[in-house]
Structure formats: C-alpha cells, structure tokens
Amino acid sequence: MAPDQTTAAPVPLLSVRDLHVRFPTERGTVNAVNGVSFDLYEGKTLAIVGESGSGKSVTAKTLMNLLPRTARVSGEVTYDGRDVRALAAEKVKHFFGVQMTMVFQDPMTSLNPVKKVGEQIAETLRYHLGRSRSEALEEAVELLDVVGMPEPARRVSQYPHELSGGLRQRVVIAMALACQPRLLIADEPTTAVDVTVQKHLLDLLDELRRNRGMSMILITHDLGVAHGRADDVAVMYAGRVVETADARTLFFDMRHPYTEALLRSIPRIDDPVHHRLDPIPGRPPELIDPPDECAFAPRCIYAQSDCLGGVPELSGLVGLHRFACLHPTGTERGMAAMSSNRAAGATAAGLPVTGSGGGSG
Amino acid sequence: MAGTGHAQLRDRDDVLLRVKDLVVHFPAGRRRVVHAVSEVTFDVVSGETLGIVGESGCGKSTVARAIIRLVDITAGEVLYEGRDLARLEGEDLRRVRPQVQMIFQDPISSLNPRRRVRDVIAEGLAVWGDDIGSWSRDRIDELMDAVGVEARYGARRPHEFSGGQCQRIGIARALALDPKVLICDEPVSALDVSIQAQILNLLQDMKRRYGLTVLFISHDLSVVKNVSDRIVVMYLGKVCEIGSTEELYSSPAHPYTRALLASIPEPAPTVDVSEGDIGDELPSATAPPSGCRFHTRCPRATDVCREVEPATEQVGDADHFVACHHPVAVEVALGAR
Amino acid sequence: MSPDGRPSRKGRASRQRLLRRFRVFRLVRSSKGPESDGPGEDEAVRRRLGVGFWLAVVWLVVMAFIALFAPMLPFADPTKVGYSGPREPPSADAWFGTDALGRDVFSRTMYGARISLAVGGFAIVFGMVVGGALGILAGYFRGRLDQAVGFAFFVLLSFPALVLAILITATLKRSLLVVSLTIGILAVAPVGLLARASTLVYAEREFVAAARVLGARNGRIIVRELLPNVVIPMGALTLLGMAVAVVAEGSLAFLGLSVAGDEAISWGKMIVDGAGLRDLQNATHVAMFPVVVMFVTVLALNFAGDRIRQYFDVKELAF
C-alpha cells in the first residue's frame, strides 16, 4: 500500500539476517526457522504470514528474546545499529519492552490475573521509566484512554477477568505503548477475538502506528488481515520466507506457488455461493530432518525434478519482490512447468495434476 | 435483535427440522441465568445447508447442542420429522439419535486418545450393532476411503494424525450411521488455512454422496457463504436476520449483519466499511438489554428499539426476513455504496 | 484401500487381540507412515523405563515370590523360639541374627513379606475398585450423586485416619482381612478424588459428547470412553499407593493393631519387637533388618510406580 511512502529512511530500523532457530526435542532437532532475512523501516508495517509450524511466531519470539533456553539460535538481528542478540546476552535493562515490545494472541499471557490493570500498566512505567506511583497511575489512565478504553478512570481499578477479550487486548496494547516503543511486534493480536472487535483493534494499531511513527511486525495466519494492514508482507513456509514483497504485489502479482495456492484455497466473501474451493493438497512438512528439497514441492502443482534437488534460495534484491521458487507462477518457466505437469498427469513429486486444477492465474 | 415471530418459517412439505421458540438458559449461580438462546425459530428443508453465523456468545453452538440434546432445552420445540425432540427422553431419544449427527470444532478433543481410529469410526455401528446387524469391516473401509484417510492406518491412535486428518475421522464417525441431518459446529475454525478448504470440499462431497441435510455453524462469514443455501444471523441469543444466502449477502438489512460484513478484513462490497464501527462491548447474557438486544451497539437505534422487541418480518417478497425496527432498505444500501 | 494381501478377517481379528494385549506396555510405540505426523520409533526408544526401574521390578518380583512360596522355601521356622541364643548377631547360620526370643530374624523377615505385601496389595486394590468406581460415577453423573459421594470422601478425609483405624481394629477381630480393609477404606477417598477429577476432565471432552450423539448409553460411555482414560493414571498410582499401604501396616503394628497372633509375622510387628530399649542398645540388627527390607521395598514400589506413571503419560498431540 501507499507507494508515496517509499522514500523511507535508507537504514532499516530492524534488520534480520540469516536467522536460524533449532529446538532439540526427544524426537530430533526441530528446524523451526531456517535462514530468515528481512528489513523493517521506520514507520512501516511488515506482516509475516504463515500457517502453524511455519516459524512465524518463533521468529517473533527470537526478536524479543523470549525463546526457551534450549533453543539454538544463529544469525544476525540488528536494531537501530545495535546487535539485539548481544543485548539479550548481556541482559541489558530497558531495551526489551521499551524500544521493542510485543503483544500476544492471548492477552492473559501478559496480564497478571490477580492485579488491577492500572497497577500493571503503572508497574511498567515505574520499572522502565522510573515514574513515581501516582504519576504512573495517572499515566495509566491516559494510556487506557489512548487505546480507546471506555471509562479509563474506572477501568484502572478493575481486574483482567472483569474485562472482555477485546478490552483486555486493549490493556495489553496500552502496556506495550507505555514506554513509547519504536517497534511493536503483534503476534496474532486478533485471533482470539470476534470480527467486530478485530476491526477495532486493527484500526487502533494502525492509528497508533501512524500517530507515533512506530514500526510494526504483524504476525498472522489471516491473509485478509495482512492484506489490509501491512506495507510489506513476508510469506513463511516450513521455517523459511518463501516470498516477500509489498502487499499489493504479493496479493495481485505473486510468484510463489504457495502464496498463490493459499490465496486460492480460502473462501472469499465475494465468491459466489457454493463456489468450489481449490484446496492445497497434502499437509505442511515435518520440521525434523526435512529433505533437501523445496519444502512445498510435494504439494506444488508446478513441481519439477529440479525442485527436488535442493532448497531454492530467496532471489531478488532485499526490499523488493523476492521469492524462493525455480518455476514461479506467472512466469514462462512456471507456465512451462505447469503444462508439462498437466501433460504428464503428475508433478515430479508424484502429485496428480488434473487439467482443471488451478494454475494459470 | 429481538427476533421473535415465526414469519421465517416455511410452509413446505419437505421441512425436515423445525426449531420453534427455542429457549436455553444456563444457571449462572446466585439464581441468575445466562440467556444463551432466546426464542429462536427457524426451519431446515430436506437437502438444504442452513448456515448459522454470529460472534462468540451469540448462542449458535448452543442452538446446535440443544437440537441434538447435548444441553437441556428450557422451552420450545425441535420438530424433526413431526416428532418433538425436545420432549423425547431416554430410549425414545436414543433411537432418534443416529439420524442427527454432529461434527465438532476441536478435532483433537473430539476423538478419544486411547482408542484406535477404526474403533472410533465404528463406534456408532458397534452401539447399534444389534439393530443394524453385525457391522462390517468393509463399511468402515468405505467410510475411511470416502473421507480420505487410508484404511491401513485404522489401527493408529488419534495423536498420530494431524488436525485435518482427525477432522476427517470425525466426519467418518458421524457418517457411519447414515444420518439424515449433519450438524457441523465450527468444523474448520481449528484448522490451518490450507487445510480448511480440503475439509469444506469434503463436507460438500459427503453431503452430495450421502444425501445429507446440513446445519453449518461458523463465525466466518466467508465460509458460511460458501457452504450455505440459507443463513441465520444470530446475536446474543436471538435471530436477527434469516434469508437465502444470495439475498442476505447482496442486501443485508439488519444493522448487525451489515456491521459483521463491514468488519471482516476484506469487507463485503455491499456494505460501507464505516458500518463496522459498532461499540465493542457485548452486553451481558445474564441481563440482556431490553427491547432489541442489539440496541446498545446499534447506530440506528431509537427509543422504540430500547422498549419494543422487533418481530421478524419479510423484506420485500424475497426469502429474506429481518427482526429490526429500522432495517436498512435495499435502496439505502445501494446509496451507501 | 489396502493393497497388501490382507489376512482373513478372523485371523486378523485374533492377531489384533493378541497385539492389543501385547501393546498394553507399548502404548507409545508405532511405526511411522508417510501420512502420519505422530511420534515414530525413535520416541519409543527414548521412552525406555531405565535400569533403575528394572532393578526395582526385580526386587519386587523376588519379594513377591518369597511371600507367595515362603513355606516351600528352605527357611528356618520363623516362630520357633530359641532357634539359637537370644539377640545373637548375624552369622553364617542366622544371616540376620536372632531376636530377643532367639527366633531367626532372616526367616521372620522373609515370612513378614507375606502379611506386609498382602495387606498393601489388598488395601490398594480395594481402594482402587471402590474409590475408582465411586469417583468415576460421581464425575460422570454429577448432580446429587456427586454431592453425596463428595461428602462421603470429605468425611473420610477429615476423619483422623489413625482414629478410624484404631476404632475398627480395636473393635473387630484383627484378622488379615480386617487390617487390609481398614487400610483399604483409608485409600478410598484419595483414589476416589483422583478418579473423579480425571473423569471430570474427560467427561467435558467432545468425544464423550460424540459418543452420546451416536446413541451410546451411559454404561458404554463410562466403560469405553472414560475408563480407558481414567484407569491409566490411576493404575500407575497402584504401586505408589501400595507403598503407602505397606507403611500404614507398619504404623498400625507399632500401635499393636496389626494382624493378631504369633503366626502372623509382619515387618511392622518385627520392628516393634526390636524397638525396645535393650534391643536398640545391644541388638540393633533385630529392628534394622526388617526396617531395611521394608524401606527398600517401599522405595522400589515408589520408584517403579513413578516410572510407570511417566511412561503412560501418553501425549495426545503430535507436537
């Protein structure tokens, strides 16, 4: 969206390079994130879209230094010229939660059920900004007002369980905003709430971001949310970014077959009634000992033998449209791959392809 | 949203299920009750898919569970083939059960972790074994094949399958008894996006293959539109709007329906995005608002809405009924564009 | 569907029955197919029970064997007074020495396993059956039954266990059955509460609703859907409960309320015999050997029970 904003600062606020996260488990090593790189510029929103197991939430938690101790992380994360992983290792105070904050899917993960919400916001202010008790409480009321909480003066003395899910999430957002962060990471912030509330919360985040010049990483499984609310979108699959571009390009001129298939599989409000959906066959891959091939190849109607010969690199310039595919949709190579698969009746990975199933879009 | 009245009932011979003035109250301690479902009326004709849509707390799942008698009915009728399911008890109720089956939201929770999936699917046949005759292994194989779970995995336990596979197993279990009515309670909302379409298509195929009548409950307006012939919109235990899917989506008349359509991330073209700006506090279901239950959030609310509960009335002469004192007329809707 | 040459239905059914019996101890094992997201063989390997578990099991099996066949084994007569001199220290002849009456402590310790294990085993089985049944019924049916059963459990729990035990054993003839029942009654409430709690969890699950929708009667739902889920956490506690019961018998013995009669030898009674001041000063071995054997047995029960509990903690999710 908003091509007029492309004159952003040349240095990204957050830069992630070749991030890998592995978890040793009883069953073997889970390769949760496999070489994720992206840049986020001041004032922009990046949506990271993916299904469960795609590594989107692990990526966010890595940025916030919230991974369990067992996780093995490699790669570079730079925030405003500072090495975030080094800051985490040194246990620097007043960075996480101040410069960078996070809002989770379930507001109760960030709220203490036995403390009044006002006190919880005030605590953040007192700890990070050294406010006095009364100052902090006053500011808490203001913050609740900012996030659109009705009757903020009364709400500060309520407990989380007295609030609806939407209002709780507003409290969490108020806490996140308390220290004027420059980067807000929202991990599925509206997944647990109803659509009418979701709209309010997304509008609120949008407005706050604009008014305060904040940057935002919006993690979501909902393509619609990503479409309406992000400048750039990164699509993740099996721990990798498979395609990233500005939102418009990604949704209307995508190159990765997974992006295409995902968009094609969801029912849309303006589709005709009883419109036959185009599901993605199969299911997401195992993250333990993944084979050395494109992770989407077994489900991809474009798959050729070279897709099975190694993991395709994310190609293209950082910041522009990039995709990790050897036979991208909407290109000649993609068309050729599709027609050869149709002629053969199956892809190189053995997935049956019928004449009608998807393709030339 | 008051939604009393029976204008939406159809006078047809092929009505299979008729829910009339259904009321479900749950005790909430200190002599208070949750008004989960209040005087809900609708019908389902044979072979139809009826969608019930609404946000959490609107009572849509409770309606489903009341029809199937998993929750106690406080008042009202559930007429199925002329018999009132609400009045059936004990063995009489049990004998009707095979005809109305259900698919649950959480595919993992709906399968017994200690049983093999083949036994899970065969449970219905095993329960009714005496009446149906010895159940056959072929029938189970056929069902597993129909829902796309390979029969050779029948000896495994549910935790060895993914969520999508578990939902397929749940569908096979429900179909084993050849039901006439299949109630689907949010069957895809716990699944990943790429799996949802597989299950929706499967349900559509099963409906055709086994001649089912479907009650489809969901909070997702796009999903409901995709599968339903007719839709009921509910709010706080009441029906706001009922109509054929085309009618309802092309000219939504109830302000709440319009708000829903305007709130989704990619709003419907028939409404204005600003119509989604309704307050975000759902009133308490223990003390629901007087008059129209939606009046506390409704942009069109007037005094009459606070006092008088609207009855469902037909919109024009289409298959479209709305319970609102100030419905949005079709012309106005077009003007708002 | 399955292309492989399938054996006949009958053959297959009997093979499956056999497998099922065999698999009781291999719940988490499964071969992994292309369509499955579940744990594979590697998990089974990692979920082994460990050497300690097997040591514990060997000890328990040996004790159980001795308890069952003590009269047929070449032990000295445990009741024979003056087998040797009184309070003789351990020797090649009397391995554990002799007690104040000159009875062979080794032989008595071995015979003591009979009553200690019998009381422990019987008590916990009683507790499991009665408490488990009441707990499951209360948790499933809720309502009045639940209130009544819950009240009974709390009365049992609030009533001082020792007083109850003294009341029963002091008024009735202190036979093996009475002592076992006494301890068994004390086990009913804790086991019942556990069964009720896990029943409540599972009764809320949608597979129970699904079974009801299919037309299953309550009995079938309890037996097919709830019992398999509830019985395993309970069953894993059997050994732990038995350990408690063995100790409880010892405590009763200390009060002189264990099984009556000189022929009825139990570890608890032996410890009491050896716990007089003179014995403790001059012949520690009289009390020490039964203490050690009882301690090791209780430890083995606890250890094995805990490992089994972990082993049966089957995951429901593949992740």
Is residue C149 within 8 Å of C134, Cβ to Cβ? yes
Percent of residues, chain B, with pLDDT higher than 90: 66
Nearest CA in chain A to C43: A27
| pLDDT above 90 for B86 | yes
| pLDDT above 60 for B226 | yes
pLDDT at residue C133, as a whole number? 94
* Subunit partners of chain C (3 or more CB pairs within 8 A): A, B
* Subunit partners of chain B (3 or more CB pairs within 8 A): A, C
Which residues 173-232 of A have a C-beta within 8 angstroms of C?
none
Name the nearest CA neighbour of A240 among A297, A189, A278.
A297
Would you call B261 and A267 a contact, using CB atoms and an 8 Å cutoff?
no
Mutate to test the interface with C, among A26, A30, A58 (most CBs of C within 10 A): A26
Which residues 265-284 of A have a C-beta within 8 angstroms of C?
283
pLDDT at residue C314, as a whole number? 54
Residues of chain C with a CB closer than 8 angstroms to some CB in chain B: 1-2, 4, 9, 16, 30, 33, 35-39, 205-207, 209-217, 220, 224-225, 228-229, 232, 314-318
Nearest CA in chain A to C41: A27
Would you call A225 and B164 a contact, using CB atoms and an 8 Å cutoff?
no
Mean pLDDT, range B125-153, rounded to an integer = 80
pLDDT at residue B217, as a whole number? 96
pLDDT at residue C26, as a whole number? 33
Chain B residues touching A259 at Cβ < 8 A: none
Split at pLDDT 50, 70, 90, the class of C40 is: very low
User: Going residue by residue through chain A (361 aa), what tens digit of pLDDT does each one get?
Assistant: 444 444 544 788 999 999 999 998 877 889 999 999 999 999 999 999 999 889 999 999 999 988 888 899 999 999 998 899 888 888 888 888 889 999 988 888 889 999 999 999 999 999 999 999 999 999 999 999 988 888 899 999 999 998 888 889 999 999 998 888 999 999 999 888 888 888 888 999 999 899 988 999 999 998 888 988 899 999 999 999 999 999 999 999 999 999 999 998 989 888 889 888 999 988 888 888 888 899 999 999 999 999 999 899 888 776 789 999 999 998 999 999 999 999 998 898 889 887 554 443 3
Length of chain A: 361
How many helices (H) and strands (E) chain C has is answered by: 14, 0
Is residue A264 within 8 Å of A358, Cβ to Cβ? yes
| pLDDT above 80 for C282 | no
Over residues B160-209, the pLDDT tens digits come to: 898 999 999 999 999 999 999 999 999 999 898 889 999 999 999 999 99
Give the pairing of strands A82-83 and A72-79.
Answer: antiparallel
pLDDT at residue B51, as a whole number? 97
Chain A residues touching C319 at Cβ < 8 A: 53
Mean pLDDT, range B285-299, rounded to an integer = 91
Chain C residues touching B160 at Cβ < 8 A: 30, 36-39, 318
Split at pLDDT 50, 70, 90, the class of C8 is: very low
Chain A residues touching B219 at Cβ < 8 A: 194-195
Would you call B159 and C206 a contact, using CB atoms and an 8 Å cutoff?
no
Mutate to test the interface with B, among C214, C312, C316 (most CBs of B within 10 A): C214
The string over B29-53, giving b where at least 16 C-beta atoms fall within 10 Å of a residue's C-beta and e elsewhere, is eeeeebbbbbbbbbbbbbebbbbbb
Split at pLDDT 50, 70, 90, the class of B130 is: low
Across chain C, what does the average pLDDT equal? 79
| pLDDT above 90 for C33 | no
Name the nearest CA neighbour of B204 among B310, B47, B16, B24.
B47
Sheet holding A45-49, edge to edge: A100-103, A183-187, A215-220, A45-49, A232-237, A240-246, A322-323
The structure tokens listed for A173 are: 């957002």
| pLDDT above 60 for C192 | yes
| pLDDT above 60 for B64 | yes
Among A58-62, A356-360, C33-37, C86-90, the range with the most confident prediction by mean pLDDT is A58-62
Per-residue DSSP letters for B250-287?
HS--SHHHHHHHHHSSS--TTS-GGGG-----PPPSSS
Residue B82, φ and ψ in degrees, nearest 5: 85, -5
| pLDDT above 50 for B73 | yes
In B28-99, at which residue ranges do the beta strands (DSSP E only) sit? 33-45, 49-53, 75-80, 83-84
Chain B residues touching A275 at Cβ < 8 A: 226
User: Domain residue spans in chain C?
Assistant: 9-46, 51-312
Is residue B122 within 8 Å of B176, Cβ to Cβ? yes
Q: Does ipTM top 0.90?
A: no
Nearest CA in chain B to A190: B265
**Lowest-confidence range among B269-283, B292-306, C241-255?**
B269-283
The structure tokens listed for C281 are: 């000063």
Q: Is C46 at the interface with chain A, CB within 8 A?
A: yes
Distance CA C203, CA A47 (A): 40
Give the pairing of strands B75-80 and B15-27.
Answer: antiparallel
Sheet holding B230-235, edge to edge: B100-103, B181-185, B213-218, B49-53, B230-235, B238-244, B320-322, B313-314
Using CB atoms within 10 Å of the CB of residue B237, give its burial: 0 to 12 exposed, 13 to 18 middle, 19+ buried. buried
The structure tokens listed for A310 are: 């190694």
Over residues C66-80, the pLDDT tens digits come to: 988 888 888 878 877
Chain C residues touching A283 at Cβ < 8 A: 37
Would you call C210 and B151 a contact, using CB atoms and an 8 Å cutoff?
no
pLDDT at residue B280, as a whole number? 67
pLDDT at residue B242, as a whole number? 96
pLDDT at residue C47, as a whole number? 55
Amino acid at B272: D
User: Could you report how far apart the first and last alpha carbons of chain A are, in Å?
Assistant: 22
Over residues A152-187, the pLDDT tens digits come to: 999 999 999 988 888 899 999 999 988 889 999 999
Chain C residues touching A28 at Cβ < 8 A: 42
* Subunit partners of chain A (3 or more CB pairs within 8 A): B, C
CATH architecture observed for domain C51-312: Orthogonal Bundle (1.10)
